[in-house]
């Protein structure tokens, strides 16, 4: 009887070791039994479906390009008044924010179709804007050149309008702002704070 129990124990142990060994071999060689492979594929499919659903929720919570372009208008409008007051550090801040928000807008919609169905590459348009008018504006700010700032700001507005026209939105006509977007910001570089 005792010998039978030892044999049974050894057989049980041997079976467990054999099972563990085969499982390790199958896993390492990609030979998972069909049921396990089906379960893994089903779980992966459910994971992808859950991720796709979550992605749609996240996309619905993100701002659209029009919202981001409103931010661009805010930054670029304030840039004008910072430059007019020769507050060059503030002008540089708003110049960088303008560029950052333009890049954000293009990340949201990098390409769009015009009314005829042709693809408009907004990334390429932004790159052209960055390489010329915005670059000149940054140089005018860095050199504290008031006349150069005025000229480069207006040149950038022309580039903005060219993009609007290319995107079939010629009715969005930017202009030199009439008043600051931020009433709370004191644009005077020499102002003491608090007042």
Predicted confidence (pLDDT) per residue in 65-123, tens digit: 999 999 999 999 999 999 999 999 999 999 999 999 999 999 999 999 999 999 999 99
* Of 61, 85, 100, the domain-final residue: 61
On whether both 156 and 133 belong to a single domain, the answer is: yes
How confident is the model over 41-64, as pLDDT tens digits? Answer: 666 666 888 889 898 998 888 889
On whether both 38 and 113 belong to a single domain, the answer is: no
Any domain includes 57: yes
On whether both 77 and 113 belong to a single domain, the answer is: yes
* Of 20, 44, 61, the domain-final residue: 61
On whether both 71 and 52 belong to a single domain, the answer is: no
How far apart are the C-alpha atoms of 128 and 115, rounded to whole Å?
22
Structural domain range at position 20: 2-61
State if pTM tops 0.75.
no
Tell me what the pLDDT averaged over the chain comes to. Answer: 86
Any domain includes 185: no
Number of domain units in the chain: 2
Any domain includes 191: no
């Amino acid at each position: 009887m005792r010998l039978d129990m030892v044999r049974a124990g050894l057989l049980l142990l041997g079976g467990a070791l054999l099972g563990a060994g085969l499982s390790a071999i199958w896993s390492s060689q990609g030979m998972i039994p069909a049921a396990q492979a089906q379960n893994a594929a089903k779980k992966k499919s459910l994971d992808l479906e859950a991720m796709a659903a979550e992605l749609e929720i996240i996309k619905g919570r993100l701002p659209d390009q029009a919202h981001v372009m409103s931010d661009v208008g805010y930054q670029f409008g304030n840039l004008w008044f910072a430059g007019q007051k020769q507050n060059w550090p503030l002008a540089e801040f708003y110049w960088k924010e303008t560029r950052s928000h333009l890049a954000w807008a293009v990340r949201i919609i990098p390409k769009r179709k015009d009314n005829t169905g042709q693809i408009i590459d907004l990334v390429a348009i932004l790159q052209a804007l960055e390489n010329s008018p915005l670059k000149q504006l940054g140089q005018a700010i860095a050199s504290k050149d008031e006349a150069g700032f005025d000229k480069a700001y207006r040149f950038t507005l022309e580039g903005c309008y060219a993009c609007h026209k290319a995107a079939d939105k010629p009715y969005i006509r930017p202009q030199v702002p009439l008043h600051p977007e931020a009433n709370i910001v004191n644009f005077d570089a020499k102002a003491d704070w608090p007042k």
